[in-house]
Every structure is written in C-alpha cells, then in structure tokens.
Structure 1
Amino acid sequence: MDKPFYPSSEENKAPILAAIAPRLNGARRLLEIGSGTGQHAVHFAAALPHLTWQCSDLAEQLPGIRLWLAEARLANLPPPIALDVDGTWPEGLFDAVFSANTAHILSLARVERMFAGVGRLLAPGGLFLLYGPFCRGGRHQSDSNAAFDDWLRRRDPASGVRDLDDLARFAAAAGLSLAEDLAMPVNNRTLVWRRLGEPASPQ
C-alpha cells in the first residue's frame, strides 16, 4: 500500500509544532490519540528527540502509520498501538497526551470518555494538548467553523464542533484544568489542559 497522506496535516504541522514544542520541554513520554496517517508524529518526533512519541489509533489505521514510521526510522517513535476510547487503554503514566482533529469526529459521549481516559493516563502536572476547531457558549468562532459543523452533522449527526463548556465539564471530572487556550491558523485552537496535582520529583 502507499503511504496515506492528508494535505491538512502537511499544512498545519508547522504551526502545531510551534505551539506544543515549548510546552513539552520537560516531557519524556507522550501518547498521541488518533494519529491518523502518522504525518504529525514523524514531524513532531524528529523535532523533539528527547520525547518518546507513542502513536495510537483504531486498528485499521495502524498499517498506514507503520509505513510513515518505517520510513522515518526515528528511535523515539515506537510501533503504533491500537486505541479505541471505548476499549482498552495503555498501561502506565504519560507526561503528556496530544490529539488533533478528533473531538469533532467522536460523538460527545466518546469525547467525554477520551477525557476520562486521558485523566487516568496523565501523570500529575502532565499536559493534554488538544488541537482543532471549537465553539464557546454555543457560538462558533467563525463562519467557516459554523459551515464545517453543519457539514459534519449532516454526514454524521453524532459528530460536530465541540463547545468549550462541555469540554471543561469533562475535564473537571477527569481531574484536568484548562491552562492555556492558544489561537491557531484557520480558526483552530490548541487547548492545553493540565492534570491536577504536583508532578513527581525527579529520581
């Protein structure tokens, strides 16, 4: 098979990296939820060699991700793992979790389960970096986001651009607090959630 390729991932990888890199200086182990093609993982792992970047996605996505990882041959990119937010989550704690353009694809109930899973996996003080379009108080931040939300819901009524009020409620239940809300190109945002509690002291 040919490597899968998303033009949008190619377009947004540089601004996303610029946003997340300074916030991952102290992290050593990161889980990516919904790695898609693997394009982001290869770009980010190459720029952040101190960080083990663990890809994950639904089982049917893993062959394409493996092609990108095999070509990159990066020591900090282990084999991808299967992860469905409704299924089994990986063992152990992560210093950070990253996910791009997943919240508007998942149903609202599954977004809630994603936050719950992230809350269980993150070490105290760890970050959940969530990228995508969001609305606030039921109001879209742009006409293009409103049109995108309409398109998503016509394709799948369970999907849609998510409201920050809902995410804040899910986060609070999972022990997460919004630390930063970063404006990104084309009316997207990177939401930086922090796991409550103090980080463990270095050994």
Structure 2
Amino acid sequence: MGDILESPSAERNKAPIWDMVLGRSIFPKLTANADAEKRVDLKVLELAAGCGVHTEHFVMSFNKSFKDFAIEWTPSDPDMEARLSIDARAKAAGLQRYILPSNGWALGDAGGTACGDGNSRRRQNADVRGSETADFAQHLEKFDLITCINMIHISPWSATRGLMDCAGKCLRKGGMLVCYGPYKVGGTATDSNMRFDQSLRSRDPSWGVRNIEDVCAVADENGLEFVEKIEMPANNLSVVFRKN
C-alpha cells in the first residue's frame, strides 16, 4: 500500500479507546452539546496521530455510531512519514471527505515529540522536515475535541506544555481533551510502568512516565478542568479534561 505504515500497538488499543472512552462517553456528550447549539458538525484535532491507525478507526466508528452528525477530523504529526501514511490511509479507506490532509504541527521540541502509534524507535530518528510550530491564531476555539495518544511519556516536558497551550486556545468552550498513555499517580505506578519509565529515561532523559498531578496542573494553567481518569488495558489511563 505504498506509504501506509503499520503499528501493532495502535491496532491493539484502538478498539478499547473507542469502546471505553470516545464512543461511550466523549462523543455522546459532544453531540449533545452540538445538538443544543443547533449544530450537526463536530471538529476534532488529533495530535501526535502517528501512522493513522487511530484516525481511520475513530472516524469510521463515529460515522457508524453518530449518523446524524458530520465529523471533520484534522490529524497532526511532526513526522513526515507518519503524515504520508495518514493521508494514504484516508484515501485507501475512502475517508477523505471526513479526514483533512494531515499537518505537521510540532509541540515543544519537534524532534523529540512522539507519535500516537507508540513507535518510539522510529520516533527517535524522526524526520521532522516540514514540521511547523502550531499557529493557534487560525484555530482559536475551533475544535470540539482534541486527542493525544501515547505522546506525553515519549516526548520532552515542553511537548506536554505545548499540548495544553494548544488545547486551551483551540478548544471551544465545553470542548474536551483526551490524553491516553501510562501515568504515575502520586509519584508511583505499577511495577511494569516503573520499569518502563526507567527504560524511557535511559533512551532519552527528557522522556518518562509523567505524574498525572503534574499534567493536571499544566492543564489547569491553561483553563482546562480535569474531568476523569479512565482505567484502560495494559496499565494505561485515559485522562479527560474540559475547557471552561
């Protein structure tokens, strides 16, 4: 399939993220908000989109589950190969009507920003030519939802700050941010995640499993209210924020 890349980890977690988070909780709330505002369209920004496995699955699932609404999905990743894969997947699946051409927004240090497919080995040597600093001015209060999957732990802390800055500026009032991945709570985590943290830091000292309290603090600084954390398979969490 040419430019299409594969991601076993994204294939494993795409269904739980949809079934347990987006399809069950997030989109029912957002479509209710849109309905109350007499809107039938929802706009989503997917940061650190990786090779497009999540993009394709989530858009197809939305179209099946919320047929009275239209989705406009903007995938973003600083890696050129990832963006080519996203666009190729959208074309192959016949989803170009719903998935906009991917962009190269970089949050914080572009060269260290991870991708939602969790492919950290490829990301360590990422080709970020063509990535760009996010221009929030063009997207103020535009999006109903921002997703960020498996980025926070495989990127410098500046990327998390950039993520929250983006969400604070680009989400509509009442819009939501969903962050998925491993976290520490109160400075500790499962044994497997603590070992994972050590492994990440040995590869890049700026990486690591983050304290959820620190992530929530940066979110709060940007006008994002913590809503809930949802326990996911493989000792991961989905952390949900709302823009006030």
Same fold (TM over 0.5): yes
Q: Does residue 1:76 correspond to 2:76, yes or no?
A: no
- Aligned equivalents of 1:12 and 1:117: distance in 2? 25
- Aligned equivalents of 1:185 and 1:101: distance in 2? 14
What is residue 29 of structure 1 aligned with on the other side?
A: 43
Count of residue pairs the alignment pairs up? 195
- Aligned equivalents of 2:62 and 2:218: distance in 1? 29
What is residue 57 of structure 1 aligned with on the other side?
A: 77
Structure 2: stretches of 5+ with no match in the other structure? 32-41, 64-69, 109-132
Structure 1 runs of 4+ aligned residues shifted over 3 Å read none
What is residue 166 of structure 1 aligned with on the other side?
A: 214
- Aligned equivalents of 1:108 and 1:59: distance in 2? 18
- Aligned equivalents of 2:169 and 2:17: distance in 1? 25
Q: Does residue 1:94 correspond to 2:94, yes or no?
A: no
Deviation at 1:85, TM superposition (A): 1.2
- Aligned equivalents of 2:135 and 2:93: distance in 1? 26
Deviation at 1:119, TM superposition (A): 0.7
Aligned residue for 2:106, secondary structure, equals coil
Percent identity over the alignment is: 31
What is residue 224 of structure 2 aligned with on the other side?
A: 176
Aligned residue identity for 2:107: V
Deviation at 1:105, TM superposition (A): 1.2
Instruction: Give CA-to-partner distance per residue, 1:16-42, whole Å, 9 cap, x none.
Output: 001112311335000000110100000
Instruction: Name the Cα RMSD after superposition.
Output: 1.3
What is residue 11 of structure 1 aligned with on the other side?
A: 12
Aligned residue identity for 2:236: N
- Aligned equivalents of 2:227 and 2:134: distance in 1? 28
TM-score normalised by the chain length of structure 1:
0.92
CA contact (8 A) 1:59 1:83 kept: no
CA contact (8 A) 2:3 2:84 kept: no
Instruction: Give CA-to-partner distance per residue, 1:79-113, whole Å, 9 cap, x none.
Output: 11111014123522101100100000111122112
Structure 1: stretches of 5+ with no match in the other structure? 197-203
- Aligned equivalents of 1:113 and 1:16: distance in 2? 23
